[in-house]
């Protein structure tokens, strides 16, 4: 077995509407190693969620359209699988945690039942056996199993997210896609959930793709990081690479935009302008309009990926020259 | 870049039309409705005969150049009567819907915006009112007031008020909680202005849909009342009444019931399909 | 600097099916002209209600509010009209705080029309000026909110609040719904406006790093009550209340070498309906003991540093 659990090659996804084509994901390459947590960081509309949904193949087609690339899961191209084969993987080998725990649970079913259902769907086991395992899962995520027979509305937001996580982990997946799992939660609850995910990851040994806009969450939980901008990976590397030696102007800009707890400066340094409209992407580097260092070269064509140090990839013309 | 100039202001109607155009069925329905309305307006010019002109010598005539769709038992020209009949159906549909929509919107707006005991009182009254079957209500009204076009319109209009009131109230309840209403209050806008400027324009979309569909269903209810003899009185032609007239001779001359039936179906269907189309066109979630 | 806004023992209760919901329970603070008070807490702690009560979008249940030294707790409708020009609000959600059927210029024009001080041309010029101030290009004046991104929408909300030239603005999570790069733009804008116009802000948020950045004083709320209040730097350097400590330790910091040791709190925020006397944080507090069942008094631990915990010296 290879070291790489998931390999995404040149993934391109578009959304076709009546009036325009939205270029959501443009040639993304990504590798997830076994047991690794990788953070996908980017702003609203950068294409993070589309990538995750492509991996699970749960995008609505149409309007979404796969325009190229492949997603290799254990060396097998997911895009080529039949829907039936895909159902065996979805929820079983690859599971997803959604952003909003309020809508991810069925409001008219008991939470324990929902977990047991998820288990039974992928395992040939009896009902009592599934129920027993569902109880175990509840305990694992820190919910007393007496609450098995309660309905989602009886749980608080943080508790619901725990239930969602229990459901995702119920079949012992190899890959967990977590789409902003703590964004809807308060900081103290976020801290609890992140802590719990960390310990569960150690326990179950799953790889995690953590989608977030919060660099703090990434610093907290990720081994490697991919910074996404306008459907492209602007920078990719280990957490050390990204946090200690950020090389893409966008990554640097993101760090500068954050209010720092230990800073005494009275002004923030935002990135000027806005992310380009994905219906109307500029030629060349997509970040060019907002970049302070942009020159003529940046407008000519999409920059090549430069490996500035082993494993640290930057999609910028100026990267690795010392003047970026 | 073209974006540099001041963006032209888009009118509301223009925007709805732009969205509606995407839906072919809705556009066809719209043209059908426009056609029926024109026929109703120009009935005196379009109909070859008057609606009561009888040709006693030639009852149950087959379609011919003289009588395009034949004649009925009294020898009246069926084609002409269908054309004249469109006037009654549309009048019932449009006027009764207008009555019920205006009353419903006002009641719903008051109940929704002010809330509290007023809301409770109005809604409970409507609850009681709505527990009586609509058709029975119409029949009772028409029977009490006496059968005529005007009374049918009033009966149908009154019976449709609760539906509009409820819709308006629900729509206002959700909008009342929006932050822009609070923002308006924080800049000293009066209640009247808030309702007029901020709430009604945003609450009206679902109502436009149900008003459109309401015209269809009240036209249908009018046909029903006429069918049982409580609506438009003979000799004035109305599609429902024409079906009723043809009832006794259905076996021999089924086509006499079929023609007005088809007219009713097409008209009501057109209004419903247009309503459906409008629902999509007005839904901001589908805009991009 | 003279005091602009003062709240004394402010309370706001709501009647619910289950009993009295203590949304704001005995909050007092002072805010000087041109300064910023940060109000921090988790969802449901009453921070939003506090902001709305101060500017009279909600009527207080008890307590007093002073503005420029005058008691405005129960204003007459005429006084309220005058007050609204001096106190404004910026909302959290730039999607629901703008009327979707009003264009950008209509939204900004509305307060000026209602004020009735300027003629048509004056209003037009003023709107142009305001759009320029908040950084919306003139070409967007006829655009509708759904055609604009979140950052621009929030700028419109700010322009609308500025139109009446207020002295005090309640900012209710104004940047929470925005992406970080846009968030920084809006925060800088607000800081510039404060400098230019001498505005006082009450900055309500759950984001501690933002509030540290923008505030002079910070008030930490838990279940309707103030648990700690201190100058911004002091609060971060020397948090005294166990809740403040847990809150500070929970912030994820974008630094991989400094993974803090977190104080993970047990349980979640309890219900603010019919709370028992005594410390409301007790159920989640690792230091809780018998004394915590008594009502917690506010103590001044050092100059201007208030804390409502009976055990702050021991922990």
pLDDT score for A323: 45
Tokens 């925005």 sit on residue:
C178
| Chain B residues close to A19, C-beta within 8 Å | 288
* CA angle, B124 then B129 then B134, to 5°: 145
Could you tell me the pLDDT band of residue B6, with boundaries at 50, 70 and 90?
low
C286 touches A at CB < 8 Å = no
Separation in Å, CA of C207 to nearest CA in chain B: 21
* pLDDT value of position C5: 92
Whether residues B189 and C93 touch (CB distance < 8 A) is answered with no
Q: How confident is the model at residue A40 (pLDDT cuts 50, 70, 90)?
A: very high
Encode pLDDT of B108-140 as tens digits.
Answer: 888 888 888 888 898 898 888 888 777 787 788
In a domain, B264, yes or no: yes
Whether B111 maps to a domain, the answer reads yes
Quote the ipTM score: 0.80
Question: The domain that contains B277 carries what CATH number?
Answer: 1.10.3720.10
Residue B213 lies in a domain: yes
Q: Does A204 touch chain C (CB under 8 A)?
A: no
Distance CA C45, CA C54 (A): 16
How many C-beta neighbours within 10 Å does residue A85 have? Answer: 12
B187 vs C88: CB contact, 8 Å cut-off? yes
Q: Output the pLDDT for position B287.
A: 47
Any domain includes B8: no
**Residue B269 located in a structural domain:** yes
Asked whether the beta carbons of residue C254 and residue A218 sit closer than 8 angstroms, the reply is yes
Inter-residue contact C50 to C213 (CB < 8 Å): no
Is the residue at B3 inside a domain? no
**What would you measure as the largest C-alpha separation in chain A, in angstroms?**
67
Is the N-terminal amide bond of A63 cis, ω within 30° of 0?
Answer: yes
Residues of B in contact with C97 (CB under 8 A): 178-180, 182-183
* Chain C residues with at least one Cβ partner in B under 8 Å: 52, 55, 57, 81, 84-85, 88-89, 91-93, 96-103, 110-111, 114-115, 138-144, 146-147, 157, 160, 163-164
Cα separation, A251 vs A229, in Å, equals 9
Contacts of A270 in chain C (CB under 8 A): 181-185, 188
Whether residue C268 lies within 8 A of chain A, CB to CB, comes out as yes
- What is the C-alpha separation between B113 and B195, in angstroms, rounded? 8
Report how far Cα C205 is from the mean position of its chain's Cα atoms.
6
Q: How far is A47 from chain C (nearest CA, A)?
A: 14
The span from the CA of B1 to the CA of A170, in Å, is: 53
At residue C32, φ and ψ (nearest 5 deg) are: -85, 160
Beta-strand runs (E) in C153-192? 168-172
Structural domain includes residue B28: no
Domain limits at B242? Answer: 33-49+66-286
* Cα separation, A164 vs A180, whole angstroms: 13
Tell me which H or E stretch contains A6: strand A4-16
CB contact under 8 A, A44 and C179: yes
Confidence of residue B3 (pLDDT cuts 50, 70, 90): very low
Sequence length of chain C is: 315
Which residue in the block uniquely carries the two structure tokens 């950084």? C135
Task: Give pLDDT, residue C306.
Answer: 92
Q: What is the mean pLDDT of chain B?
A: 82
Q: Which residues contact B145 (CB under 8 A, 6 or more apart)?
A: B151, B154, B155
Sheet bearing C70-71, strands edge to edge: C19-32, C3-16, C62-67, C70-71
pTM of the model: 0.81
A interface with B, Cβ–Cβ below 8 Å: 17-20
Read off the pLDDT of residues A204-250 as tens digits, 9 standing for 90 and up: 888 899 998 888 888 888 889 999 998 889 899 988 888 888 888 89
B7–C142 C-beta distance less than 8 A? yes
Residue B211 lies in a domain: yes
> What confidence tens digit (pLDDT) does each residue in B164-220 have?
999 999 888 888 888 888 888 888 888 888 888 888 888 888 888 888 888 888 888
pLDDT at B5 over 80: no
Residue in C closest to B286 by C-alpha: C146
Q: ω before A62 within 30° of 0 (cis)? A: yes
Which residue among C92, C139, C141 sits closest to B3, beta carbon to beta carbon?
C139
CB spacing of C99 vs B180 below 8 angstroms: yes
Distance separating alpha carbons of residues C150 and C147, to the nearest angstrom: 10
The Cα–Cα gap between A61 and A252 comes to 36
Total structural domains in chain B? 1
* CA distances to A43, C242, C288 from C314, in Å: 44, 11, 12
User: Chain B: nearest CA to C57, how far in angstroms?
Assistant: 7
| Model pLDDT for residues A288-311, shown as the tens digit of each residue | 888 888 777 788 778 888 888 888
Which of A245-282 are b and which e, b meaning 16 or more Cβ less than 10 Å from the residue's Cβ? ebbbbbbbbbbbbbbbeeeeeeebebbeebbbebeebe
Residues of A in contact with C247 (CB under 8 A): 187-188
- How far is A84 from A75, CA to CA, in rounded Å? 18
Chains with 3+ CB–CB pairs under 8 A to C are A, B
* B235 preceded by a cis bond (ω within 30 of 0): yes
What band does B288 get if pLDDT is binned at 50, 70 and 90? very low
What average pLDDT does range B142-164 have in this prediction? 84
Burial of B117 (0-12, 13-18, 19+ CB in 10 A): exposed
DSSP state of B197: I
Spell out the per-residue pLDDT of chain C, length 315, in tens: 788 999 999 999 988 877 888 889 889 999 999 999 999 988 878 888 999 999 988 889 999 999 998 888 888 888 888 888 899 999 887 778 898 888 899 999 999 988 888 888 999 999 999 998 898 888 888 888 888 888 889 999 999 999 989 999 999 988 888 888 888 888 999 999 999 999 999 999 888 888 888 899 999 999 889 999 999 889 988 999 999 988 888 888 887 777 666 777 776 667 778 887 888 888 888 888 888 888 888 888 888 899 988 888 877
C39-49 confidence digits (pLDDT tens): 998 887 888 89
Beta bridge mates, C31: C5
**Domains of chain C, earliest start first:** 3-237 (3.40.50.300)
pLDDT at residue A1, as a whole number: 54
Asked if the C-beta of B287 comes within 8 angstroms of chain C's C-beta atoms, the answer is yes
């Amino acid at each position: 077995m290879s070291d790489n659990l998931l390999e995404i090659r040149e993934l391109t996804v578009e959304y076709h509407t009546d009036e325009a084509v939205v270029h959501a994901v443009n040639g993304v390459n990504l590798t997830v190693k076994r047991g690794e947590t990788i953070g996908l960081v980017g702003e609203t509309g950068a294409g993070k969620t589309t990538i995750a949904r492509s991996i699970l193949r749960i995008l609505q087609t149409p309007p979404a359209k796969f325009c190229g690339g492949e997603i290799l899961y254990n060396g097998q191209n997911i895009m080529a699988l039949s829907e039936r084969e895909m159902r065996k993987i979805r929820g079983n080998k690859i599971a997803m945690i959604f952003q909003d725990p309020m809508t991810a649970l069925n409001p008219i079913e008991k939470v324990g039942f929902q977990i047991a259902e998820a288990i039974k769907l992928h395992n040939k086991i009896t009902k009592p056996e599934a129920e027993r395992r569902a109880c175990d899962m509840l305990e694992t995520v820190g919910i007393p199993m007496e609450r098995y027979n309660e309905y989602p509305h009886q749980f608080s937001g943080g508790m619901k997210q725990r239930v969602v996580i229990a459901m995702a982990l119920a079949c012992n997946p190899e890959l967990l896609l977590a789409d902003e799992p703590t964004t809807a939660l308060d900081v103290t609850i976020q801290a609890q959930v992140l802590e719990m995910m960390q310990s569960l990851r150690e326990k179950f040994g799953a790889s995690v793709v953590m989608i977030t806009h919060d660099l703090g969450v990434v610093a907290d939980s990720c081994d490697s990081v991919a910074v996404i901008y306008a459907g492209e990976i602007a920078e990719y590397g280990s957490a050390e690479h990204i946090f200690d030696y950020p090389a893409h102007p966008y990554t640097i800009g993101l760090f500068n935009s954050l209010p720092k707890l230990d800073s005494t400066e009275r002004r923030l340094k935002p990135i000027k302008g806005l992310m380009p409209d994905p219906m109307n992407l500029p030629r060349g580097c997509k970040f060019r309009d907002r970049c302070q260092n942009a020159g003529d070269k940046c407008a000519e064509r999409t920059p090549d990926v430069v490996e500035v140090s082993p494993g640290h990839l930057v999609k910028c013309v100026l990267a690795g020259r010392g003047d970026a | 870049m073209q974006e540099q100039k001041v963006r032209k202001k888009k009118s509301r109607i223009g925007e709805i039309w732009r969205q509606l155009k995407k839906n072919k069925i809705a556009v066809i329905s719209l043209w059908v409705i426009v056609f029926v309305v024109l026929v109703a307006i120009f009935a005196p010019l379009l109909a070859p005969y008057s609606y009561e002109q009888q040709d006693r010598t030639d009852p149950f005539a087959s379609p011919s150049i003289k009588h395009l769709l034949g004649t009925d038992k009294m020898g009246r020209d069926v084609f002409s009567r269908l054309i004249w009949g469109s006037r009654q159906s549309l009048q019932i549909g449009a006027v009764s819907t207008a009555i019920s929509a205006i009353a419903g919107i006002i009641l719903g707006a008051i109940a929704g915006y002010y809330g509290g005991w007023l809301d409770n009182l109005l809604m409970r009254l409507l609850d009681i009112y709505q527990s009586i079957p609509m058709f029975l209500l119409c029949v009772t009204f028409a029977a009490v007031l006496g059968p005529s076009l005007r009374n049918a319109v009033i009966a149908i209009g009154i019976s449709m008020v609760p539906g509009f009131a409820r819709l308006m109230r629900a729509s206002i309840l959700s909008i009342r909680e929006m932050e822009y209403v609070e923002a308006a209050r924080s800049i000293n806008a009066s209640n009247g202005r808030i309702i007029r400027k901020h709430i009604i324009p945003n609450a009206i979309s679902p109502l436009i849909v149900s008003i459109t569909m309401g015209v269809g269903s009240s036209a249908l209810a009018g046909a029903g009342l006429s069918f049982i003899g409580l609506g438009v009185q003979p000799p004035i032609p109305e599609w429902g009444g024409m079906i009723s007239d043809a009832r006794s001779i259905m076996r021999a001359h089924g086509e006499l019931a079929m023609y007005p039936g088809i007219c009713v179906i097409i008209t009501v269907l057109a209004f419903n399909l247009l309503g459906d189309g409008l629902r999509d066109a007005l839904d901001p979630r589908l805009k991009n | 600097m003279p005091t602009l806004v003062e709240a004394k023992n402010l309370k706001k209760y709501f009647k619910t099916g289950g009993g009295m919901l203590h949304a704001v329970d005995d909050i007092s603070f002072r805010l000087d002209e041109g300064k910023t008070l940060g109000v921090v807490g988790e969802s449901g702690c009453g921070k939003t209600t506090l902001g709305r009560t101060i500017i009279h979008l909600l009527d207080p249940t008890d307590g007093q509010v002073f503005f420029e030294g005058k008691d405005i707790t129960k204003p007459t409708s005429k006084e309220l009209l005058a007050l609204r020009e001096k106190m404004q609000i910026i909302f959290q959600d730039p999607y629901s705080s703008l009327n979707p059927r009003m264009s950008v210029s209509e939204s900004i024009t509305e307060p000026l029309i209602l004020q009735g001080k300027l003629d048509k041309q004056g209003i037009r010029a003023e709107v142009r000026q305001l759009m320029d101030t908040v950084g919306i290009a003139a070409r967007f004046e006829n655009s509708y909110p759904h055609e604009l991104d979140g950052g621009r929408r929030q700028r419109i909300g700010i322009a609308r609040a500025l139109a009446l030239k207020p002295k005090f603005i309640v900012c209710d999570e104004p940047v929470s719904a925005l992406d970080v790069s846009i968030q920084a733009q809006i925060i800088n804008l607000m800081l510039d406006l404060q400098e230019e116009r001498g505005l006082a802000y009450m900055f309500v948020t759950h984001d501690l790093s933002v509030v540290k950045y923008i505030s002079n004083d910070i008030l930490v709320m838990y279940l309707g009550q103030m648990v700690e209040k201190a100058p911004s730097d002091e609060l971060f350097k020397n948090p005294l209340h166990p809740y403040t400590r847990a809150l500070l330790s929970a912030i994820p910091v974008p630094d991989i070498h400094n993974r803090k040791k977190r104080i993970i709190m047990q349980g979640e925020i309890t219900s603010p309906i019919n709370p028992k006397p005594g410390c409301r944080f007790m159920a989640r507090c690792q230091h809780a003991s018998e004394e915590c069942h008594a009502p917690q008094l506010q103590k001044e631990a050092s100059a201007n540093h208030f804390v409502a915990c009976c055990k702050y010296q021991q922990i």
